[in-house]
Each structure stands twice: as structure tokens, then as C-alpha cells.
Structure 1
């Protein structure tokens, strides 16, 4: 079954961010915006408030709008992963993204305890590439556990902060990828040319080698969903930032669709 293109809570970050937005939107609003843009997938990622929602009501809303859900959290503690598996089953979710927050040996032990339940439920756990865990270590954990319910969520931009080249991240993880986070990024000089800032940019305008990533991972042939995220810098005020975020979400979705006819 071919993968689909969807949106993440990170595509609406400044819209739901209560610390900066005086009128933050909620998950039902994000679902509606996703459906209105014609995206069939919405990943609820790093949004702990989801644990306080009525899963039956949230799933019914997603079903009405024709949107499939995925989940995202952090950590590998067995009790935490069990809670998210329970939530995944209630929401008819088949992929949960997480991140390693402990060392290799503890992660392997925790995953070996947690994953049999994921296997029985037909739910995949995808561990994301990011700067606090060397890509080689992440691959070692996944290959050592060797579960059909375990894979990698690939986001090559995240590893740049650890001086890992995006191309190397893609090459090392390609065989294990079960989910793609798609966001573009670029370096810009700081004022006075003192250092650089690494931040997001509209898809197709930065350093993400999307063609090479897709050639290595083959998402269409392997049923891997592609989820749009942003690293949109704060623009000085909520209204301006949210307006630009809306533009990025719509145009990045249009761009990604054009690359996947």
C-alpha cells in the first residue's frame, strides 16, 4: 500500500502554542485545517495534551473528516509506551513515533519489554533521528532489538546539530525507515557575520536533498508516510508568525504533492 502525504502538529506549532498565541487552536481545529487542505493524514507529535482528550470523540472527528491519525511521543519506558499503545488502539493509529532519551543498553532492554504488545497490535514504533543520539547508535538499537514493529522515523535535518551530514543520515537509516518527516532547512549568517543560524525555510528552497532521500528510502513502494513539519522562526508577534506558518503549510503541502504525482 503506497504511503501518503500528511501534516504534523509541528505544521501548526505557533497556532497551538499557548505561551505565544492568545487564542491557541486545539486538536479538533488542527484536524479541520488538515482536512480543509486535502491532506489525508495528521500526526499528533510531541503534543502531550492529546492524553487528556476523549479518544472516541477525537477518532470520530477524524473519521468524519476523512483523516487518518498517527501519534508521536518521546521516550522508551515500557509503561509510557504501553500508554501510547493503548491510545493508538483507541484512535485506530498504526504508527507511533518516539525518540531515544536514554543510553543504548537501557533502550534495548526497554524496547524488548514493550514491543511484543506493539507486534500483537499491528502498531509500528518509529524512533526519530535527532542530534542527541548518534545515527549509528540509533541504527544499532533498532537492529539489535530486531522487531518487525520497530523502525526509524527519518528527519535528516535534526542531525546537523551533531555535525552529521544529512546524506550520511539518510544512507545509514534508509533500510530501517518507517516514517518520514519532511522539512527544509538552511543556514543564514548572523548579524555582523558572527556565526550562523540553522532554521527552516519553504520546501525546495533549502538544503534538503529530497530527491536523494526518496531514492534511498523509496516511500511510495514501501508504504511509508511523509509528514510535513516546519522549523519556522518566530517573526516578532503571534499574528505575523501564524500567518506565515499558514502560508508555509499550504505551499509546502502543494510542493510535496508536486514531487509525488
Structure 2
């Protein structure tokens, strides 16, 4: 298992930067500095507007740093997926994380299955695997049904046990249902804490391995199914007292998350 960082872990810093090639190159280098082995460029639309030569510069920079690249977007309309298969191919990315729904399209189960079947030949041709993320609009059992119906090793699940809590799915249930089909893992830890005056709860982020995500159970489940995938750190970091302080804490949480995961994997020396 390689450990990586998503653009979702850099969300506060990335919002302060101009979109474009230099920003992506910056985060490739930063992934290396923080101890990551993979950089997942996820839900970052500016990458769609890079010329092929610029995408090749991203690949070259990642190769020079020893960083594997992954791509990510939202939606499964065939034309959109084909666009991202091309981006993934140029970047040398073997994983394309996406979601069934996008802002523009909310397919039925039948449509989702047909759309994905339509792009399987291109996925096979270019050696790219789709990872459909577990998240609140889609029950995990329905995501599994889609993957089973399509029936291709190039269509799997991005296992993110924290996302489905708002749909009242327990993280362990998400792990139990989705692990066998995992082509990617998102490591996003969380804690529930009572609001002021004990009126309800807040669900907020934590460094991976320091919250309520059962990391050991997740790793054991992957091991039992003999699933070899990359695990990508994401963060639900609340805003601090200033933008710069928030960015500093973001970096600190990422370093702690990767250190905790390396310890969990008995890779402290890495």
C-alpha cells in the first residue's frame, strides 16, 4: 500500500493560489516534502484546461520526485469520463476516482450501469481503473450493485468510510460492504463532539489515526480480501484563526496522518 495526499487535504492552501500548472507542480513537490508517495489530483477542474504539454510537465515533475499520480473528478457521463481517461493516460495515472453524481447529472441506477459499461473498453485499453467513491447520496449497497452489474475489474470502489455517516451508514458497514471491490481508499478521520450547551453534535476532522475511524479494522479488512490499493489522505480541517494558521495546521495534520499510517503499516522507517 502506497500512502498519498489528495488535493482535498490541501483545500485551504489551494484556495489561496492561482489555478494552473504552477499550482499543481507546487503540490506535487509538497506531497514529497510531507512524506507522501502518491498525489491524487481530485476534483480540481483547472487540470482540464491544461495543454497536453503541461500535463506532461506534471508527469515529469512527479517522476522526478518519485511520486505516483492519480486523477479524480465527479460524474460518470461517458464523454466526461473519456476526457479524464485521456488526462489520466497523459499523467501516467492508473486510478481515476469519481462519483456517480455530479452537479450536472444524477443518473438512475440503470443509467449509471449503462454509462460505465460504455467506457469499459477505453479503460481496458489504457489500463485505467475507476474508483467510485462511497458518499452520502448513494448507499454503499447500491454502489456495490453498480460495480457487480458492470462486472469489469476496471470499475471498482473508492472506499471512504467517513463519507456515508450523514446517510446513517456506520463506517464499519461501509468497509464490510465495499472492501472486496476497492480500487482506492480515502483516509479521512473524524470525531463527533457535542455542540455548546449539549445541543446536538458536530462531526469534524482529525489527523488520520487520531479520530474515530477504525484504521486497524480498515487495514485488516483490506488484508483479508488481499486488496492492494493506494490509500490517500484527505482532511476535514475546520478554519482556524487565520488563513495562514489554517494552512500551517493543514500541513501539520498531513504529516501526522502519514506518520500514523506508516506506524500502522509497520513502516516507520519509510
- TM bracket, shorter-chain basis: over 0.9
Alpha-carbon contact 2:34-2:254 (below 8 Å) kept: no
The one of 9, 26, 30 aligned to 2:27: 30
Equivalent position of 2:118 in the other structure? 113
TM-score of the two chains, using structure 1 as the length reference:
0.94
d(CA) in 2 for partners of 1:58, 1:205: 32
1:223 offset after TM fit, Å? 2.2
Alpha-carbon contact 2:194-2:202 (below 8 Å) kept: yes
Indicate how the Cα distance of structure 1 residues 29 and 219 shifts in structure 2: closer, same or farther if over 3 A, else same.
farther
d(CA) in 2 for partners of 1:219, 1:27: 36
The one of 7, 10, 31 aligned to 2:8: 10
1:22 offset after TM fit, Å? 9.1
My pick for the range that moved more, 45-54 or 214-223, is 214-223
Equivalent position of 2:129 in the other structure? 124
Q: Tell me, which stretches of 5 or more residues in structure 2 are unaligned?
A: 102-106
Indicate how the Cα distance of structure 1 residues 64 and 179 shifts in structure 2: closer, same or farther if over 3 A, else same.
same
1:56 offset after TM fit, Å? 1.1
CA RMSD of aligned residues (A): 1.8
SS of the residue corresponding to residue 41 of structure 2 reads strand
My pick for the range that moved more, 37-46 or 24-33, is 24-33
Deviations 1:173-194 (A, max 9, x none): 1110111111210111112211
Equivalent position of 1:193 in the other structure? 198
Alpha-carbon contact 1:219-1:225 (below 8 Å) kept: no
My pick for the range that moved more, 195-204 or 130-139, is 195-204
In the alignment of these two chains, the number of paired residues is 257
Deviations 1:17-73 (A, max 9, x none): 14xx79998111111111122322111111111112321111111111111100010
1:152 corresponds to 2:167: no
Alpha-carbon contact 1:71-1:95 (below 8 Å) kept: yes
Q: Which has the higher contact order (CA 8 A, sep 6+)?
A: 1
Alpha-carbon contact 1:44-1:69 (below 8 Å) kept: yes
Alpha-carbon contact 1:77-1:110 (below 8 Å) kept: yes
Deviating runs (4+, > 6 A) in structure 1? Answer: 21-25
TM-score of the two chains, using structure 2 as the length reference:
0.91
